[in-house]
Structure 1
Amino acid sequence: MATRERRLAEFDGQGDPEPDQAVQVLCEDHSGTYQLPFPCVFTDGEWRNAETGSMVEARVVGWRLPRTA
């Protein structure tokens, strides 16, 4: 299992992403860290699902530009 520090290092976005730029986000709760399975945007101080526009109701602790396979 990946350590919290290693996961945070993989989500190396600095500051906030460009408005409406779709990115991958890392969230954290009492169980640990996890990547959301959908792209997100940071708009008007809120994280939102880039596909549906729904607000992300999780604590985002990191972001990165999408990785290509």
Structure 2
Amino acid sequence: MKYIFGILFTLVILFVATYFLLGLWGIHFLDAENFSKILWTTGILTLTSIILVCFVILPFFWFGQKRKI
């Protein structure tokens, strides 16, 4: 249950960060002329989060706890 809560919390943080990042660039959410910028920004943030989870969080925090010497 705590992993589901953690995933949801992370998604909320990413959505808020995306909203403020788009606002910083002057992009109004769901505006037809800026839709490609919205998709590119969301794609970059999604790719970054996947890379962080796969190469930083899982190897150092998840799998590191299961190995006991």
Q: What TM-score comes out, normalization by structure 2 length?
A: 0.23
Higher-helix-fraction structure: 2
Structure with greater Cα Rg: 2
Higher-strand-fraction structure: 1
